[in-house]
Amino acid sequence: MNESRVTIDEDDRYSRLKLIGWWDQDRLRESRVLVVGAGALGNEVLKNLALVGIGHITLIDFDVIENSNLSRSVLYRADDRGKPKADVAAHAVRDLNPDVSITSINGNVLTQIGLGLVRSMDLVIGCLDNREARLWVNRMCWKVCTPWIDGGIQEINGVAKVFLPPDGACYECGMTEMDYQLIQLRYSCPLLKREDLLQGKVPTAPTIASIIGGLQVQEALKLLHGIPTDHGSAMVFNGAANQFYKSGYQHREDCLSHETYEPIIESALNHQHSLADVAASLASHDAGAIESLQLDRDLVVSLDCGRCQTSHDVMRTRPEVSMNESVCQTCQEPMAPNMLHVIDVDGPLADQPLANAGVPDNDILQLTTTAGDTLFLQLSPHR
């Protein structure tokens, strides 16, 4: 036996964890993890992150708690029905472990998470039930090189995937034609979201949520400790046959997710400032004058009726506009969205707050200069 002994402090809630040779509680206390989704999988992931003492968690979910969640979500109680999942889950995490600081965002990951927030994270854990949101998280993580761990469950089967941008295959590299079609299905012509399609109604047992959620957090622990992990591949668990296998993805040269934002300039301005403010702040920058802002999210400026020529102002991003509201009140015909992807410095929106054009808090702007160069400018948090 070695002479050196580990002293066990029985007052330390982490004393058993610290007996694991490579365990570094200080590292975990300093860690920042974004959890996307607080359904069955998100509950298991959050429970584990709380138990091991991850210091800083940000959680986003747009849903409220329903009866059907109670059979699969350890953090929810019957009294919580009707309350936002993000807020209730955050409260339960604080109750489980007061050492954890958790921020809840009751909102949509497609529209309310700025790239600066993703960049500030050590990793992102996806607990999602649809491909569209996974693809969005994948692209955000690639842009700012933040590792992410995806999880998916159905009935008693599940899959976990680790991605380490900018290296190796990404989530989109593993997408099939069928996956793209399933995403498109939710956007009928004229490109607005259909409300009538079932979402998040995948049948799942709480047992597979425990297995996959456990696997996701275990991979997270390895990443946070610098222990090598398999990445760019799927870890698949077939619950009926008790088969566990790994399936590698090929890095696809034509994949659209591999764009990275660098170098990133940090700005004291926030999304309540305007593009004109941003351009003025960069006037002395040697990269040249700013010409325009490339929007990450298509902005629906208005809905226009081709039949009776009426037009409604909208000014919301495409994921925030549903098919239901695109029916003309005057003639009942479907209206066409008038969309904007670029804001010009000398255009009509240049003096408005960036938030009005759908730029979320703490986002990173993609700016084009008059010389044709691209600048990446990170806005400061506003709230």
Instruction: Report the candidate in 192, 57, 71 with the shortest Cα–Cα distance to residue 124.
Output: 57
CB of 37 to Zn ion, least distance (A): 21
Q: Which stretch binds Zn ion (CB under 5 A): 71-79, 103-111, 126-134, 323-331?
A: 323-331
Between CA 374 and CA 365 the distance in angstroms is 10
173-232 binders of Zn ion (CB under 5 A):
173
299, 182 contact by CB (below 8 A): no
8 counts as binding Zn ion under rule CB under 5 A: no
Kindly tell me which of 329 and 370 has the beta carbon lying closer to Zn ion. Answer: 329
How many Å separate Cα 149 from the centre of its chain? Answer: 11
DSSP H or E run through 266: strand 264-266
Residue 175 beta carbon to Zn ion: minimum distance, rounded to whole angstroms: 8
Q: Determine, following the binding rule CB under 5 A, whether residue 328 of this chain makes contact with Zn ion.
A: yes
Packing angle of the helix pair 131-144, 177-185 (nearest 10 deg)? 110
Q: How many whole angstroms separate alpha carbon 46 and alpha carbon 140?
A: 21
**What is the nearest approach in angstroms of Zn ion to the Cβ of residue 233?**
13
Least Å from the CB of residue 165 to Zn ion:
9
Q: Does 256 bind Zn ion (CB under 5 A)?
A: no
Q: Is 150 in the site for Zn ion (CB under 5 A)?
A: no
Which of 67-75, 233-241, 307-315, 368-376 is the region at the interface with Zn ion (rule: CB under 5 A)?
A: 307-315
Residue 331 binding Zn ion, by CB under 5 A: yes
Using the rule CB under 5 A, which residue among 305, 314, 350, 365 binds Zn ion?
305
Told to check if 167 binds Zn ion by CB under 5 A, we report no
The verdict on 307 binding Zn ion (CB under 5 A) reads: yes
- The answer to whether 164 contacts Zn ion (rule: CB under 5 A) is no
Task: Check residue 137 for interaction with Zn ion (CB under 5 A).
Answer: no
Contact pick of 172, 296, 361, 363 for Zn ion (by CB under 5 A) = 172
Q: With contact defined as beta carbons under 8 Å apart, do 10 and 18 qualify?
A: no
CA–CA dist 163, 235 (Å, integer): 12
Of 89, 102, 170, 215, the one binding Zn ion (CB under 5 A) is 170
Which residues have CB under 8 Å from 165's CB, separation 6+?
Answer: 141, 142, 145, 146, 147, 148, 260
Is residue 341 a contact point for Zn ion (CB under 5 A)?
no
**In the complex, least distance from residue 307 CB atom to Zn ion, rounded to whole angstroms:** 5
Task: For residue 288, count other CB atoms closer than 10 A to its CB.
Answer: 14
E strand intervals along 305-347: 311-317, 336-344
Cβ(116)–Cβ(185) below 8 Å: no
Spell out, one character per residue from 53 to 92, where the chain touches Zn ion: x when CB under 5 A holds, - when not: ----------------------------------------
Q: Does 308 bind Zn ion (CB under 5 A)?
A: yes
Q: Evaluate the omega torsion of the peptide bond into residue 84 and state whether it is cis, within 30 degrees of 0.
A: no
| Rounded Cα distance, 25 and 227, in Å | 15
Q: How far is the CB of 170 from Zn ion (least distance, A)?
A: 3
- Interaction of residue 330 with Zn ion, rule CB under 5 A: yes
Q: What is the DSSP letter of 178?
A: H
Whole-number minimum distance, CB 75 to Zn ion, in Å? 33
Distance (Å, whole) CA 225 – CA 23: 8
The span from the CA of 85 to the CA of 52, in Å, is 22
* Site residue total, Zn ion (CB under 5 A): 12
Residues that bind Zn ion (CB under 5 A): 170, 172-173, 255, 257, 305, 307-308, 328, 330-331, 333
